[in-house]
Chain A
Amino acid sequence: MAASAADVRSILAIPEPPAAGSSQPAKKPQGTERAKKPEGIPRELYALIGPHVPTLTAQFTKPRLKQKPNLAGGGRVKWHVPPTWEWRPFKNGARSDGLRLSHWTKAGTDPETDYQFAKYNIQGTPYVYTHEEYTRLLDDSSWTKEETDYLFNLVREYDGRFYVVHDRYEYPNGPQRSLEDLKERYFGVCRRLIRNRPWIGDEASKKALLDSLTFDKDREVARKDYVASLEHRTPEQITEEDALYLELEKLKENERRFRKDRDELLRTLCGIESGLPDIQVDEDGLAGATFDTKKKKKGVAGSVEPQTPVTPSANTVIALPQPQPKKTSAKSAAYGASPATHLLHLEPTIVVDALHCIVRTEVEQTSSSTKAAHVPVHLRSYKIAQPKAALAPRVTQVLSELGISHSRLVMPTRDNLTKFAALIDAAQQLVEIKKAVDKHDQDIQTTKARLAALRGETVEDGDVPQTPMDVDEGAVDAEGEVDGRAQSVVSTRSVRSRKQGRRSMSVSSVDTTGGPNKRQKQR
């Protein structure tokens, strides 16, 4: 039986769709639509769908299979031609040593393309801290700085793979550390560093990063205990547990059935006024309320009232989400409070009403609401962040180099003042670090001078090997004694070059300055 859409219409007595023109052009597209009947639909069914429901036809069409993989590398799938592969060296962008390895690759691909897996070589952000930061933020009675350094070096070396780190962890004279100890220390340090350093992005991204570095040692230990106890069950225990579980399920089922029966009975006896928590009424708070009041008015069915309390239904009404009345806080954390201090406390809820320029902050209940605490009216710009007096000139200089005025803003709004405070904070840290670098520079120079003086007297043989030799971190200590001469010469002569760090401290760098000086000394 073939039924077209028109047939269906006539059967259901639906008038013909109002055709804009004559019926002839209206019919034509129908015909073309028909011709494109997708496969997989019976013709009759398709006719019933009619021409106006294209989405349905799409659902009925056969699902398209995934295209066959094109392994041959050619334009068309040719299964009879086996793909050609060749052994070819490739460039791995993730390698720093430039080692060329070879692999099998499809012939015809560009040999200069970078190794496709190179992008997965992701380095975690290495966290480092200065001595000052350690003493200020990271001090922990159970950890020494040396051991923390050791831990961080290991984590860096093994790329944050804590199982390996724990396996290799052998700090001389240190206490036994569990994997959780190591993780707790590492993540704790990272979190504290992030909190106390200036942050570029918004608060949300900072919080996300901090969350990603959260480590709850107790929970982790408990979790592992659970897993361990789960894994160490004997077969007997497992069967017993299963049996118990089945028993429990049975009991539950029984109870459910019993309760259902009882409820049914009560409902047939008392009707809707039975006040059963499980019936439809109390899912809807309003219905429950009306029922509740009705019951009170009548005050009936007291005797039949089951022990089941009526409160659940009343509760649903009360528990409706109510607009929380905003409370109050004299201290608005909004003002220039640095983001660091922000995060240390629980963040207060701040609601901003842009239209009326209102900022509401949650009030701590403990705050004594005295008049003395009242912040009088002021211009917003009064609260502009100011650097510490001792650092002010250098902070000002840093800011002016960046084209920022140290004392005024064009638009001193709340957001901009917060940003400005963060800027001042960051600039102060920078200045402090630079100061510390200078101080250490001086330290290094004086120590070197003393060393040189000392060695100038003690070391007299003076046959320093002249072969250029890179004195690297590791080598320094080994050569320190032998090579002391050369180093001391550098230190007295080319103080400036110190600034480039200890890499410059190769014996070869002595060449220019060392020559005459050495002759003098040898005499």
Chain B
Amino acid sequence: MASNDRVRVRGVTIHRPVIYGNTAWVLTPKEREALPSSDHTHRWTVAVRSAASSPDSDIVGGADDLSYFIKRVTFKLHDTYPNPNRNVDKPPFEVSETGWGEFEITIRINFVTESGEKAVTFYHHLKLHPWTASGSGEPEIPSLEAAAKAGPVHSWQYDEIVFNDPYQIFLNILTAHPPTPLPKHKRRPIPFHTANPASLEASKGGTPEFTQEMEREEAERLEKALKTIVEDTHKWRNKLIEKENESNRLKKELEAALQS
């Protein structure tokens, strides 16, 4: 390694868009019979992938191979699973299992040694049951038959892995692999996210895909909210000024009254 490779490139922040989450399918009775543990109702896959989807694949994300900067992904499953710490050292970084319940999966990403970075850890709530609009009157967990009809359940979170002041050698590796940009417009359903309950309808009907439109849509939502808050603040500030004036006036009156 050349000496200047171990030099950090100051002022550079480079990130890679990834998604993590799971897809779950309801098992058919036949599949259930074939399983050693017959109480399992779902088959699921938890994964860390690149954010963009390949145009012709039926999985969410995964257009790029992330192994150029990820060395290992560890999925820590529920303790009731045999060998709950699953290390995946080569792509695809995913674990498929069957089960009956939802639980929190700890995901740890180790980066290639050139990065000189420690691992990052985060959590994903394994989602097996279909998303429901809260307060819609639908049962929180629909029956298995209904769920099977609705198709696979997707629960994915977009995020960006951010490297600050990377080593020159690592920066070279990263820039040699520019990520596939997200599609500009919606081509497939939107991945549902609890932060945007309104996307429930748009999330139905096939394998979802992350798009730049989602970012814009969220930006607009945030801006709209900000606008409302600022307008509200303006109203309240005027009210406050009025109150302050009144309060001061009354206090003066009180003083005058006390003195007289």
Contacts and interface: CB of A to CB of B under 8 A. Distances in A.
Interface of A: 128-131, 197-200, 326-330, 332, 334, 354-363, 369, 374-381, 398-399, 402-405, 408-416, 419-420, 422-423, 426-427, 429-430, 433-434, 436-437, 440-441, 443-444, 447-448, 450-451, 454-455, 458, 476-477, 480, 484, 501-502
Given A357-B15, A408-B195, A451-B254, A440 B164 contact: no
B178 interface: yes
B118 interface: yes
B57 interface: no
B250 A329 contact: no
Contact of A405 (B17, B194, B243): B194
Contacts, number: 220
16 contacts: A328-B165, A329-B10, A354-B181, A356-B175, A378-B161, A381-B159, A409-B195, A412-B160, A415-B215, A423-B222, A426-B230, A430-B232, A440-B243, A451-B250, A502-B242, A502-B246
Contacts of A444: 243, 246-247, 250
Contact of A328 (B11, B178, B197, B223): B11
A404 B225 contact: yes
Given A404-B222, A419-B223, 12 more contacts: A130-B237, A327-B10, A329-B10, A354-B181, A376-B164, A379-B160, A381-B160, A405-B195, A413-B215, A414-B15, A447-B247, A501-B243
Interface of B: 8-17, 111, 115, 117-118, 120, 122, 157-165, 174-175, 178-179, 181, 193-199, 210, 214-215, 218-219, 221-230, 232-233, 236-244, 246-247, 249-251, 253-254, 257-258, 260
B134 to A, nearest CB: 12
A444 B248 CA distance: 9
Contacts of A362: 11
B222 A357 contact: no
B100 to A, nearest CB: 27
Contact of B249 (A130, A426, A476, A484): A476
Nearest to B111: A377
A477 B198 CA distance: 54
A332 to B, nearest CB: 5
Nearest to B122: A379
Nearest to B115: A377
A360 B165 CA distance: 10
Contact of A454 (B117, B193, B251, B254): B254
